[in-house]
Amino acid sequence: MNNQDKLQQLIDLRIKAREAGGEKRIAAQHAKGKYTARERIEMILDEGSFEEYDMFVTHRTTDFGMADQVYLGDGVITGHGTIDGRIVYIFSQDFTVFGGSLSETFAQKICKVMDQAMKVGAPLIGINDSGGARIQEGVRSLAGYAEIFQRNIMASGVIPQISAVFGPCAGGAVYSPALTDCIIMSDKTSYMFVTGPKVAKTVTGETITEEDLGGATVHATKSGVAHFRADDEDEGILLIRKVLEYLPQNNLEEPIVTECSDPIDRRDDKLNEIIPDSANTPYDVKDIIYTIVDDSEFLEFHRHFAKNMVVGFAKFNGQPAGIVANQPNFLAGVLDIDASRKAARFVRLCDSFNVPIITLVDVPGFLPGSGQEYGGIIIHGAKLLFAYGEATVPKITITLRKSYGGAHDVMGSKQLRADINYAWPSAEIAVMGAKGAIEVLEGRKIRSIENPDEAAKYAAQKEEEYRVKFANPYEAARYGYIDDVIEPRNTRFRIIRALQTLANKKEALPPKKHSNIPL
């Protein structure tokens, strides 16, 4: 074979590898509203930037007729490329080859790019579209999953890991995305569950569809497993690129500051009037967020889950930051199990990758009731408390209105090492609201007054005394727990000034193997 023949052989093999499972299976993939593994990579990465690894890898199994079914690449496409000129590593499971099932060599390909991503300190993107373990390989397939899981764990907090679920992801396969920083699911074409509908029917008698058991809507609204529910793969791919815009390449770098044309001293007078006069009247905290961030652009995580808490990325004068905010428009912004988990996870994501945290507080307390107590609100609330207290990134907290009881401590208080704590004039920082406080302090005396009108008058008088004392930010400011009371319309400027001041902040944790966060 001369050199020309060898070159032609290479070209033919590359063509064969790109054919994946063949035209028929590719057409079936498209018919489901799904892109192929290669199409997804091409759409995610900058044009012409993809460098593929292991195109010629094949499986090594001969049992159950597998010797006659050999595909170049063995069902997963791996390599590296760039997004906005920044290097990323990527793997994309190919459902047209053995249903994207994971074999020993399939896992080895993924592990190789994971190892490379760690070596060079670059983000890892995983696109999941797989029927699960390749049954013909038995324990070798299971070992392959565990090898991937171990690398997910070692990479956690070192490089950003983004998972897109654009098809099935079931059984042990779900734990790789679960170990990563962000999960994006495509609506109607993806699902995740540990055990499927057939097993559920056999074991528990429950009849349920794949969509109702583990579809994108379920995980975006009920379980909180998915951070984003994309309408389709096109939106999911845009979200992958968008999330990475706010994160650095690795934990030793800072997020990239971009140019900003939105004036840092822009004021919006509507902020001075956005808090209702009545402390019990709701408002939408997102109206505040969109007003103070650059160009009204806010990338919200978990939009459909635990709506009493709002978290996501934004920029202030081009500086990426994470925002954590109570949402008075839903359950009065109360802290419950799901809201605590949601915010704690996001705070730890920001802290892992040097993203400052901006906290907007309007919280009446923790949600009471046996459902919350039996569900472990103590432990879940402690997760958020722990996350704030452990975080060493710049932390700026602004109290908008209510900040009551233990929830005040949890939401980025000065005692949890927040760097700068501001408050609006409408802030109320106290152990509880006036009515509840007077019931505790004066309840016995009020009940001892025989005349109902006199009793009501006395209660109202005491409640007013309490409001004068605590329904303002100045008592906290008097003790230095609030650094300044600011005019609401100046909030954007004060945040940007604070971020500039804290740019070189250094804060270390005590030497330890790792924390034992309440789980």
Report whether pLDDT(346) > 90: yes
In this structure, is the dihedral angle defined by the CA atoms of residues 146, 148, 149 and 155, taken in order, positive or negative?
A: positive
Tell me what pLDDT residue 3 has: 86
Tell me what pLDDT residue 462 has: 83
Do 42 and 92 fall into the same domain? yes
Tell me what pLDDT residue 37 has: 95
Residues 272/489, Cβ–Cβ less than 8 Å: yes
Do 466 and 478 fall into the same domain? no
Tell me the pTM: 0.94
Confidence of residue 204 (pLDDT cuts 50, 70, 90): very high
Supply the mean pLDDT for the chain: 94
Asked if the structure places residue 279 within a domain, the reply is yes
Report whether pLDDT(369) > 90: yes
Do 358 and 232 fall into the same domain? no
In this structure, is the dihedral angle defined by the CA atoms of residues 472, 477, 482 and 486, taken in order, positive or negative?
A: positive
Do 422 and 458 fall into the same domain? no
Asked if the structure places residue 10 within a domain, the reply is yes
d(CA 269, CA 485): 17
Confidence of residue 351 (pLDDT cuts 50, 70, 90): very high
**For range 10-22, the mean pLDDT:** 85
Do 129 and 191 fall into the same domain? yes
Query: What does the CA dihedral 134, 108, 37, 85 come to, rounded to 10 degrees?
Result: 160
Report whether pLDDT(414) > 90: yes
pLDDT tens digits, 229-253: 999 999 999 999 999 999 999 999 9
Confidence of residue 450 (pLDDT cuts 50, 70, 90): confident
Tell me what pLDDT residue 438 has: 84
Asked if the structure places residue 20 within a domain, the reply is yes
Report whether pLDDT(454) > 90: no
Tell me what pLDDT residue 345 has: 98
Tell me what pLDDT residue 287 has: 98
Q: Which helix (H) or strand (E) holds 128?
A: strand 124-128
Report whether pLDDT(439) > 90: no
**Catalytic residues, which ones?**
171-172, 406-407
Tell me what pLDDT residue 135 has: 79
Do 177 and 286 fall into the same domain? no
Report whether pLDDT(111) > 80: yes
Do 82 and 223 fall into the same domain? yes
Do 283 and 141 fall into the same domain? no
Tell me what pLDDT residue 164 has: 98
Report whether pLDDT(372) > 80: yes
Asked if the structure places residue 86 within a domain, the reply is yes
Residues 403/427, Cβ–Cβ less than 8 Å: yes
- Give the percent of the chain with pLDDT over 70: 100
Host domain of residue 377? 269-431+471-501
72: Cα separation from own chain's centroid: 35
Asked if the structure places residue 460 within a domain, the reply is yes
Tell me what pLDDT residue 411 has: 97
Report whether pLDDT(429) > 90: yes
Do 286 and 358 fall into the same domain? yes
Do 194 and 273 fall into the same domain? no
Write the CATH number for 315. 3.90.226.10
Distances (CA, A) of 29 to 16, 98, 257, 457: 18, 13, 39, 72
Do 23 and 154 fall into the same domain? yes
Tell me what pLDDT residue 139 has: 92
Question: Which of 116, 2, 146, 104 is CA-nearest to residue 52?
Answer: 116
pLDDT tens digits, 305-344: 999 999 999 999 999 999 999 999 999 999 999 999 999 9
Report whether pLDDT(132) > 80: yes
Report whether pLDDT(58) > 90: no
3-state SS track over 302-347: CCCCCCCEEEEEEEECCEEEEEEEECCCCHHHCECHHHHHHHHHHH
Report whether pLDDT(150) > 80: yes
Asked if the structure places residue 213 within a domain, the reply is yes
Higher pLDDT, 33 or 69: 33
Instruction: Tally the domains of the chain.
Output: 3
Asked if the structure places residue 112 within a domain, the reply is yes
Asked if the structure places residue 517 within a domain, the reply is no
Confidence of residue 40 (pLDDT cuts 50, 70, 90): very high
Do 336 and 459 fall into the same domain? no
Report whether pLDDT(479) > 80: yes
Report whether pLDDT(203) > 80: yes
